[in-house]
Chain A
């Protein structure tokens, strides 16, 4: 079983819609969760971090964490073509500094 799982996509949404990206993880003791965006040919850039159960909002982005279900998601409201990228879920296993990345979900926002 992979430690961090994501649907590889592509996930296609029309401009202005809500994009929902999902991630599950296997280490129940994980404490830190992150979403990165990666444009083709570029390095990952941090979008959101979340550490507690519930929702965390930052502009058009909302991260949701459910530790009991070992599930973290990212919602992008009012999706724009510029949001088209690969979104990487990263989890920091308990007691470590390192990140484990999922395979990424490729998002396409259609104009």
Chain B
């Protein structure tokens, strides 16, 4: 299984600022994903990060708010822009190599916006 390192593990940010979350995988993977998990809720997919092309966003999420980079097959970043208290959540990075293989998760980033 892939080992995924995500940082920061937590942060407290002022509203109106931006935070970039980094995700590093210990092996090359085809697909990387970014999820949000509100307290007591399940995981909601924000976007799929494709290497060499723009990310694919799910309904309700837009690139201006959540810009994503995927410069190579082992690394991705998610930026939460112009933050408001409603963005307080856990953000999770996930990676998967091929169809019919499992996805693994980073440790998550607990974001609090004040």
Binding site for B on A (CB under 8 A): 31-32, 34, 42-46, 49, 51, 88, 90, 92, 97-104
Contacts and interface: CB of A to CB of B under 8 A. Distances in A.
26 contacts: A34-B103, A42-B107, A43-B105, A43-B106, A43-B107, A44-B43, A44-B105, A46-B1, A46-B102, A46-B103, A88-B42, A88-B43, A90-B103, A92-B99, A97-B30, A97-B99, A98-B31, A98-B33, A98-B45, A98-B48, A99-B94, A99-B103, A100-B45, A101-B42, A101-B45, A103-B41
Nearest to A86: B42
B112 to A, nearest CB: 14
Contact of B45 (A45, A99, A103, A104): A99
Interface in B76-114: 92, 94, 96, 99-100, 102-108
B105 A45 contact: yes
Contacts of B31: 97-98
Q: Which of B1, B30, B105 has the most C-beta atoms of chain A within 10 angstroms of its own C-beta?
A: B105
B100 A51 contact: yes
Contact of A99 (B33, B100, B106): B33
Interface size class of B (residues with CB under 8 A): 20 to 34
A32 B45 contact: no
A108 B42 CA distance: 18
A92 B101 CA distance: 10
B21 to A, nearest CB: 13
> Can you list the 7 inter-chain pairs with the closest CB atoms, starting with the nearest?
A43-B105, A97-B31, A101-B43, A103-B42, A43-B108, A101-B42, A104-B42
Most buried by B among A49, A51, A97, A101: A97
Contacts of B106: 43
Nearest to B6: A43
Contacts of B96: 97, 99
Contacts of A44: 43, 92, 105
Nearest to B94: A99
B42 A97 contact: no
Contacts of B30: 97
